[in-house]
Amino acid sequence: MHRAGFVGVACALATLLLTGVQQASGAPPIDAGESIYQRGIAGSGEAVQATHDGGVRMQGAAVACMNCHRRSGLGAREGNSTIPPISGQYLFHPRVQNPEELEIPYVDGMRANREPYTDATIARAIREGVDSEGKPLSNLMPQFALNDADMAALIGYLKRLDRRRAPGVTDTVLHFATIITPDADPVKRRGMLDVLEHYFADKNASPLGATPPLRTSRKMMFMVNRRWELHVWELHGPPETWHEQLKAYLTQQPVFAVLSGIGGKNWAPVHDFCEQEAVPCLFPNVDVPVETDQDFYSMYFSKGVLLEAGLIAKRILDANSGSPAGMVKTVRQVYRAGDSGEAAALALASALKDHGVSVSSHRLAPGDSVAEALRGARGTDALVLWLRPPDIAAVAGEPPASTQVFVSGLMGGLDRIPLPQRWRDAARIAYPVDLPEGRRVRVDYAFGWFAIRHIQVVDERVQADTYLACGLLAETLSHMVDAFVRDYLVERVDDMLDHRILTGYYPRLTLAPGQRFASKGGYLVRFAQPGNTRVVADSAWIVP
């Protein structure tokens, strides 16, 4: 199916609901052009009507322009189909015969040798499916029933798409930030920064990373290799103050995007800031990302501990649908106050609450012992530990008899989780990454790169993820040439993921419209033998 089909199906229900609200209130959208382009809603608040491919009637979200031409207006390539850019500079540029005469950045699908559009011929193209030279457009292009006011608003919006300056971009430098919250693990922080700083140094030292001193032709004008500059935005104080701190950082030095970053329990203020300021935030190292299908600029490798909660919930619910002997009716969760496990425990309780499973939680305050919490787990069907290595290592005695034990892999250290020997047979570890033998080849290059640069490996997953994020950014920018539009960066990263071979800790990375988590599943694993750290799958790959 063409990308437009996927987006239309994904967005149709939400847009129809929005349409109903607008119709009921009688209030037109604030910006009719943007509403038509992004949501398929006309200035009246009613769904835009269109016909497609021989008279098939469509409306609303299914005919929103950005389905095919993307939010940036710079088009897309899907299989053998190329969707052209439709922002103003590409519609109105003068005809050129030689690509070197172009004075706008190259974008896939642009046509340099056709007559420039005018407002009248754009309106004709939108209503009748005929291009600036009177030739039929692709049958992928619907014909829209727009009145003159809506048409003028839409054309005005297409022209405004080119007025967005690229913050953080100069003739010689690309500025990027990485964000660190106050509760970030200091060891992981150091490991992440070590990778980022070396990657930026390598990028700037290589011939491909050096900026030519002089652009001698129009062809070179849009092929300049800019130096990468990294800005470290350290946050301090309570989360309610982070927005103003980030605003000050961004005002002092605009950046094109936020790359990687590291947080603790609460990343939401950073996520919300990036959405509000339209700053791409590419793959931060966070255990508790923000779950939403409405936002655009934040991208994550996975849902972190929220995905782990989904893996455990699915195992429990699948068992409950089978033999009565294996049913789980009571679950006891243990987590430390102020840590990521609190959000995971809430997510698991929410997933189980409507399925006849009673969930209780023990919140460990500073100074509380794990042993005390475990005494309350006896007699329950399942025990879930959302704990860090020091607390896991302090687990004493035998696991409760006839109780299934689940442990967070991300919080506990994955393969190196320090479970006492007597717990290893009973425990199943939530494992939202590929198995060690599956990921070994995909991470070897990164670890070889670390070794050559004498980067101390202090957290394998965080450092491998940071290296992967840097590589994805570099590859994406190489395909963007000089079309520095933040929305376009996000769109091209979406596209690049599908074709990435080296995906680090993850068996596959992919993003479809409306998705912000590139890896969707994981395993439950167990130790192959109590005395070693080798883990083996205790389940197939699970997508909750």
On whether the CB atoms of residues 476 and 459 are closer than 8 A, the answer is no
* Mean pLDDT confidence for 310-314: 98
pLDDT attached to residue 82: 86
pLDDT at 542 over 90: yes
Largest CA distance in the chain: 81
* Mean pLDDT confidence for 24-41: 74
Tens digits of per-residue pLDDT, 67-83?
999 999 999 877 777 89
pLDDT attached to residue 105: 84
pLDDT attached to residue 292: 86
Strands (E) located in 10-163: 49-52, 56-59, 76-78, 81-83, 143-145
Tens digits of per-residue pLDDT, 448-457?
999 999 999 9
* Mean pLDDT confidence for 413-435: 94
H-assigned helices in 114-185: 119-128, 148-160
Instruction: Give the chain's length.
Output: 544
Lowest mean pLDDT among 2-11, 113-122, 531-540: 2-11
On whether the CB atoms of residues 483 and 211 are closer than 8 A, the answer is no
Distance of CA 286 to the CA centre of its chain: 12
Distance of CA 244 to the CA centre of its chain: 24
Integer CA distances (angstroms), 540 to 320, 415, 426, in order: 18, 18, 18
Most confidently modeled range among 71-85, 132-146, 160-174 = 132-146
Give me the DSSP letters along 386-440.
E--HHHHHT--SPPPTT-EEEEEHHHHTGGG----HHHHTTEEEEE-S--HHHHH
Give the number of C-alpha atoms closer than 13 A to the C-alpha of residue 453, restricted to the C-beta side: 19
Q: What's the pTM?
A: 0.89
Topology of domain 173-301+437-497, CATH: Rossmann fold (3.40.50)
What does the alpha-carbon distance between residue 249 and residue 518 come to, in Å, rounded to a whole number? 28
Tens digits of per-residue pLDDT, 100-136?
677 888 888 888 888 999 999 999 999 999 999 999 9
pLDDT attached to residue 533: 78
pLDDT attached to residue 212: 40
Q: Which residues pair with 177 in a beta bridge?
A: 231, 258
What does the alpha-carbon distance between residue 123 and residue 114 come to, in Å, rounded to a whole number? 17
Domain ranges of the chain: 3-163, 173-301+437-497, 305-431+523-537
* Mean pLDDT confidence for 150-157: 96
- Amino acid 335 reads Y
Most confidently modeled range among 161-175, 239-253, 375-389, 415-429 = 239-253
pLDDT attached to residue 378: 81
* Mean pLDDT confidence for 265-294: 96
pLDDT at 18 over 50: no
On whether the CB atoms of residues 317 and 355 are closer than 8 A, the answer is yes
Encoded tokens for 455: 């980067």
What does the alpha-carbon distance between residue 254 and residue 248 come to, in Å, rounded to a whole number? 10
Three-class SS state of 262: strand
Phi, psi of 468 (to 5 degrees): -65, -40
* Mean pLDDT confidence for 427-455: 96
On whether the CB atoms of residues 282 and 496 are closer than 8 A, the answer is no
Give 418-424 contacts, CB < 8 A, sequence gap 24+: 418/389, 418/392, 418/393, 419/392, 419/395, 419/527, 420/393, 420/395, 420/396, 421/530, 421/531, 422/397, 422/398, 423/395, 423/398, 423/399, 424/526, 424/527, 424/530
Q: Spelled out in words, what is the top-level CATH class assigned to the domain 305-431+523-537?
A: alpha beta
Summary mean pLDDT of the chain: 88
Q: 148-160 and 119-128 are packed helices; what angle lies between their axes, rounded to 10 degrees?
A: 110
On whether the CB atoms of residues 47 and 55 are closer than 8 A, the answer is no
Lowest mean pLDDT among 11-20, 162-171, 504-513: 11-20
pLDDT at 324 over 80: no
pLDDT attached to residue 427: 94
CA end-to-end span of the chain, whole Å?
A: 24
Tell me whether the CATH fold assigned to 173-301+437-497 matches the one assigned to 305-431+523-537: yes
Q: Which residues pair with 431 in a beta bridge?
A: 523
pLDDT attached to residue 397: 84
Lowest mean pLDDT among 58-72, 160-174, 209-223, 249-263: 209-223
Per-residue pLDDT band at 530 (split at 50, 70, 90): low
Lowest mean pLDDT among 9-18, 469-478, 493-502: 9-18
Encoded tokens for 50: 């269109």
pLDDT attached to residue 76: 85
pLDDT attached to residue 203: 94
* Mean pLDDT confidence for 488-501: 91
Strands (E) located in 6-130: 49-52, 56-59, 76-78, 81-83
